[in-house]
Amino acid sequence: MTNFPQIGPDWTLFLDRDGVINERIFDSYILDWSAFRFTEGLLANAAKIGAAFARIIVVTNQQCIAKGLLVQDQLDEIHQHMCNELQKAGLTVDLVLVATEFKNGLPKRRKPNSSMAYEAQALFPSIDFQKSIMVGDTNTDIQFGKRLGMKTILIESKEIVKEIPDLRLANLSELSRYL
């Protein structure tokens, strides 16, 4: 990667969900598995991405729960399907962490706050944020990674992002070119 150090077997990959793992539905939400579409090329490159990292953690803001559009069990079912399909393709997700409150709500779990990263580190004490990459498609994703000293990758979309990432990619599958 351009100015990235060599990624070793002890690195952690943090991934946002919408716009990174699945196609993002702007101004709406993924409310059931039938609406979930993996981003271009991800499943074909999942094994290479999965093999490069010790851990893969999904950190996602999902205020659709706070809005009453989904209940936690429904969201968990979507994530279980997502993890199963990624596993079949060769990428194991070790943990999915979800912030379900409203934007600016309490508790302050949503990205860019660092709560979900510290929760992951509590479960996997070997996580070193200096040996971690955050991949996201929004300002809050890049801020989340930077606050923790991670390398950051922006997946470009129609989202206007002012934060400067370490690397910009069209989609997550392109990460495989740098591994």
User: Which residues face 38 on adjacent strands?
Assistant: 22
Catalytic member of 18, 137, 141, 166: 18
Active-site position among 10, 16, 137, 166: 16
Which residues, in sequence order, are bridge partners of residue 22?
18, 38
Identify the bridge partners of residue 155 per DSSP, sorted by sequence position.
169
Q: Which of 91, 89, 36 is nearest to 60 (CA)?
A: 36
**Residue 16 annotated as catalytic:** yes
Instruction: In whole angstroms, give the CA distance from residue 62 to residue 9.
Output: 30
Q: Minimal CA–CA distance to 175: which of 9, 84, 40, 59?
A: 40
User: Hey, which residues are catalytic here?
Assistant: 16, 18
